[in-house]
Amino acid sequence: MNNRALAAITGASSGIGAEFARQLAARGFDLLLIARRQDRLQALADELAQSCNARSEILVADLATDADRERATARILAADNLALLVNNAGFGTQGAFSDADLASQEQMHRLHILATLDLTHAALRTFTRQGESTSTGRGIISVSSVAAFEQAPFNVSYCATKAWINSFMKGLSMELAAAGSAVRVQALCPGFTYSEFHDVLKMDRRAIPKSFWLRAEFVVAESLRGFDRNSLIVIPDWRYRWITRFIRMTPGPLMRSISIHYARKRRERARSFAAKT
């Protein structure tokens, strides 16, 4: 790696993570690409070398495991030219929490919370070592979700872990401001986005109106535009900004009733579909 500014991206092998890599490479960053699939990472690195002359280092790691998370943390700590960390790695599950495989729920909490915690701490230590005079433009983006603003049945762990990310980034922002630091932090909260995320869930995209589906290119462009403006919470697309505003303005008991009603309807439709098939 050379001395150009380095952006470290987790979950970089596809979707929003891969798009962060493309847009940051176009901005002149070199890249540390972190994900589980080496073939995907190598293909992306080759693409960026050809299109943007970007140098990419590949770190194959499953950040839900302690050993790989420690390796990634150590690499971040050693990155003297680190300028940006993008905590993007994540996944979702469907179904009632009580019916879910506990291992998958633990994996989600480890990936969304522990990986974000450990890598963010390492990045801030690295920024401190670099010195405050070089901190302008340095920062951390953690990919959250509009799900962070609600508690939804059949999506319990996902909503909870994304809510933690928002709370963590908000508190960190205040702490950095109190210390007079120029390091920027952001919680990116997209809605439904075209990616492999929903393919893994085996979700029928037709259940969601087409106008609510966002493209990863748009989501990342909005994130980086918000980062340039030092925006703490970035919600791409006006529809989702209105939805989150509605959720925040609705009294808790009413929002709870709405969520329970929707969940019951969803369960009834699932039972009806199962009976027909």
Which residue in 158, 194, 240, 262 is the catalytic one?
Answer: 158
Cβ atoms of 12 and 38 within 8 Å: the answer is no
Query: How many angstroms separate the CA atoms of 251 and 260, rounded?
Result: 14
User: Which of 272, 253, 252 has its CA nearest to residue 264?
Assistant: 272
Alpha-carbon distance values, 263 to 130, 156, 191, 204, 228 (Å): 49, 12, 19, 17, 39
Yes or no: say if 33 and 10 are a contact pair by the CB < 8 Å rule. no
In the residue annotation, 158 being an active-site residue is answered as yes
Separation of alpha carbons 232 and 254, rounded Å:
28
Token readout for 26 is 């176009």
Of 194, 178, 176, 198, whose CA–CA distance to 186 is shortest?
A: 176
Amino acid at 206: R
Tokens of 79: 């990155």
Alpha carbon distance 65, 102 (integer Å):
15
Report the run of H or E that residue 35 belongs to, with start and end. Answer: strand 30-35
C-alpha atoms less than 13 angstroms from C-alpha of 264 in its C-beta half-sphere: 6
Annotated catalytic sites, by residue? 158
